[in-house]
Amino acid sequence: LVADLKALSDIRAGIDKQREDLTAAMTANVEEERRMSMLVAEKEKLRQSSASELAAEQRKAQELASQATNLQGLIGSLESQISSVREAAEAARAQEEERRRMSDAEREAARELARNAVPDKNRIAPAYVFSELRNKLAYPAAGSLLRKFGDADGTGHSLQGIMLETNPGALVTAPSDGWIVYAGNFRSYGQMIILNPGDGYHVVLAGMEKVSVQPGQFVVAGEPLATMGAKRVASAAALALETDRPTLYIEFRKDGKPVDSRPWWTAAEVGKARNDT
């Protein structure tokens, strides 16, 4: 009987222990649910706040675009007055400053690593120095060269970029890693994207129908940015073209001045435009 009573007492003690463990687990679950609910609420609050801030930045960017008289003025005003773009520009400058502080041996080691390693797909800064990407970039969209740097632009001036004829609805992708400085309508350019790939460069893409990126966003090479329309945008630079198909305008700028982008492209036809004789 004593042995049975002891066994019963042990069983009751085990039941009490299990009850305590269950109560603790239930309490922990309740606390976790409460914590998760608070996190979800906070995330939703941040999302709404971010959406509101993004909408405000987009309105401000459009306002600056309507006031700008040229691309350089637009880029300057965006990088000084739009916080997300300013932060991206500061990140690009910080990376350039870090490279300047490297020794020649360290820079060469970084180049060798970039040449031989697969870039981290989750990178938040350009994997390569833009000035060292000559003869390595693919066109942002599949197409043929209609006008090259220096050709007549239809207004009595020389073209400061190149123009590609694309298929209707063609996908436009990032030619390199970089930060989005501007994405939206600008004067006669149609929908335009300005990309900051670092190293003092900006890449301008114009003539699209729809863009799918936001200012301040970091994109990697090959990432979709926009789509072309069914027909070309009737910009001043496209007036003299012999096609009604969609045309993508591409301009490279170094320290605010247009430069010939053709040395960067891998396309075999970059040296000969369709209107060459």
Quote the pLDDT of residue 114: 64
Q: Give the homologous superfamily in CATH for domain 95-271.
A: Glucose Permease (Domain IIA) (2.70.70.10)
pLDDT tens for the chain, 277 residues: list them.
888 888 888 898 888 888 888 888 888 777 767 766 666 565 555 555 566 677 777 788 878 888 877 777 888 888 777 777 778 788 878 877 887 787 888 777 777 766 666 677 677 778 888 988 989 999 999 888 888 888 876 667 788 889 899 999 999 999 999 999 899 888 777 788 999 998 889 999 998 999 989 888 889 999 999 999 887 665 544 445 566 788 899 999 998 889 999 999 986 544 344 444 3
Question: How far apart are the C-alpha atoms of 229 and 247, rounded to whole Å?
Answer: 9
Question: How far apart are the C-alpha atoms of 131 and 23, rounded to whole Å?
Answer: 64
Give, as one character, the DSSP assignment of residue 169: T
Quote the pLDDT of residue 228: 92
Quote the pLDDT of residue 275: 43
Question: How far apart are the C-alpha atoms of 215 and 197, rounded to whole Å?
Answer: 13
Quote the pLDDT of residue 274: 43
Quote the pLDDT of residue 147: 86
Quote the pLDDT of residue 276: 42
Task: Show me where the domains of the chain are located.
Answer: 1-67, 95-271
Inter-residue contact 194 to 125 (CB < 8 Å): no
Question: How far apart are the C-alpha atoms of 81 and 52, rounded to whole Å?
Answer: 17
Question: How far apart are the C-alpha atoms of 73 and 90, rounded to whole Å?
Answer: 18
Q: What six digits make up the tokens of 144?
A: 């043929």
- Give pTM, 2 decimals: 0.69
